[in-house]
Amino acid sequence: MATSAVPATGTPEAVPAKTTPVRLTDNAVNKVREIMATQDPLPAGLRIGVVGGGCSGFQYSMSFENQAGMMDKVYDFNGLKVFVDATSLMYLNGCVVDYVETLEAAGFKFDNPTVKSTCGCGSSFQV
C-alpha cells in the first residue's frame, strides 16, 4: 500500500496517483478543479472519505480541505491533492471515482470493488 512520507515540516507529501489505492478518473479530476476554482479562498485539495450512515451503513463523502490531517494519506492526481483518512482508506481500496453526465443526472460515481450491497437509491453501501 502506498503511504505518504512526512518531511520535517510535519505535512505529508503527496504520493503520485499511479501508486494509490483509490483512483480518480481524468473527468473527476477536471470537474473537481472546475468546482475548486469557484471557491474563495481556493482550497488546498479534496477530501474523500467514508462515513457511517445511510440505509446500508456507510456513505461516501467529498469535501474541500485546506490542509491534511495528521492521520491522512495525501495523493496527487495531476496536481490535485486528495486527502484520505486512514480509516476510510480501508473501505476505498481499489475504488475508482468518476464524474458522469447523463440526460437524467450528473455527479460523482464511486466504483468500489469491496462493496457487497448498496441501497436502492445508491447513496449508501455495505461491505
Domain 15-126: give its CATH code. Answer: 2.60.300.12
Residue with cell 481524468: 26
* Alpha carbons 8 and 5: distance in angstroms, whole number: 10
Q: Where are the domains of the chain?
A: 15-126
In this prediction, residues 87-100 reach a mean pLDDT of: 93
- Top pLDDT among 10 and 76 is at 76
Per-residue pLDDT tens over the stretch 27-74:
999 999 999 999 999 999 999 998 887 676 788 899 999 999 999 999
- Alpha helix (H) residue ranges in 1-127: 26-36, 86-92
Residue with cell 475548486: 36
Per-residue pLDDT tens over the stretch 6-30:
444 445 566 655 668 999 999 999 9
Q: What pLDDT, on the 0 to 100 scale, is given for residue 114?
A: 82
Whether the CB-CB separation of 81 and 74 falls below 8 Å is answered with yes
Q: What pLDDT, on the 0 to 100 scale, is given for residue 11?
A: 52
Candidates 107, 111, 115; CA nearest to 96 is: 111
Whether the CB-CB separation of 98 and 23 falls below 8 Å is answered with no
Q: What pLDDT, on the 0 to 100 scale, is given for residue 9?
A: 45
Q: What pLDDT, on the 0 to 100 scale, is given for residue 115?
A: 77
Q: What pLDDT, on the 0 to 100 scale, is given for residue 105?
A: 86
Q: What pLDDT, on the 0 to 100 scale, is given for residue 64?
A: 97
* Alpha carbons 22 and 48: distance in angstroms, whole number: 9
Confidence of residue 121 (pLDDT cuts 50, 70, 90): low
CA Rg, the chain, in Å? 15
